[in-house]
Amino acid sequence: MERSLIRKEVLPFLLMFGSLLLATIVVDALLHQFELIWIGRWLGIPGTILILASFLYSMRKRRIIGFGKPKTLLNLHETLTWVGALMILVHAGVHIYTILPWLALAAMLVNVISGMTGKLLLERSRRFLAEKRDAYSLQGMSDEEIDKRLFWDATTFDLMKQWRAVHLPITLAFAMLGIAHILSILLFWEWK
């Protein structure tokens, strides 16, 4: 039975992102249930620290730092970003009433989505297309017939390859909006 690229790769990606949103709802509901809403207000700090720590991978990849194995740092990057994003999403669930935190939150979500796209979809999709191409070739199909059968999968893959063009600028936008949010909190904090 033939499986499409959308069912094999995109749906699991959506389920993983959905698990982040579901975990946010569950944690937020538990905090409300046990009247611990004040914890959510403070989760932004450790969430931000975890996301900042996740940049060790990016620093290693760009040779800014020399320690750590890239694969280990990539796994750490993914874990710290997911947990940090969860904490920030719960923090945002404390009912923010100004635009700046919502813009930072939206930039973070787009950034998480673009990072997950690169991690989960791109390499697996490349392998998926190669495997399908090889299978069709073994069946004796011509290159033209193979290209025709793989058209929608190849089109989906080409769109997914554009993730790098989104990830870095969104990361920078998220960083700037996050810094602006933190500075505004410090500026308007009741320091009594």
Q: What is the pLDDT of residue 1?
A: 46
- Host H or E run for residue 37: helix 37-42
Q: What is the pLDDT of residue 95?
A: 62
Is residue 178 a contact partner of residue 48, using CB atoms and an 8 Å limit?
Answer: yes
Indicate the residue type of 37.
I
Which single residue is written with the structure tokens 């932004």?
44
Indicate the residue type of 187.
L
Task: Please give the Cα distance from 110 to 52 (Å, whole number).
Answer: 17
Is residue 145 a contact partner of residue 85, using CB atoms and an 8 Å limit?
Answer: no
| Neighbouring residues of 36: CB distance < 8 A, sequence distance ≥ 6 | 30
| CA–CA–CA angle 59, 65, 71 (5° rounding) | 65
Is residue 13 a contact partner of residue 161, using CB atoms and an 8 Å limit?
Answer: no
Phi, psi torsion values for 121, nearest 5 degrees: -100, -45
Question: What are the pLDDT tens digits along the chain (192 aa)?
Answer: 456 767 776 787 788 889 999 999 999 999 999 999 899 889 999 999 999 999 999 899 889 999 999 989 989 998 999 999 999 999 987 566 678 888 888 889 988 888 887 777 777 788 888 999 999 999 999 999 999 999 988 888 888 777 777 788 888 999 999 999 999 888 988 765
Q: Under the phi-then-psi rule, with left for phi > 0, alpha for psi from -120 to 50, and beta for the rest, what region is 2?
A: beta
Q: Which residues of 145-162 are buried (b: 16+ CB within 10 A; e: fewer)?
A: ebeeebeebbebbeebee
Is residue 114 a contact partner of residue 167, using CB atoms and an 8 Å limit?
Answer: yes
Is residue 80 a contact partner of residue 51, using CB atoms and an 8 Å limit?
Answer: yes
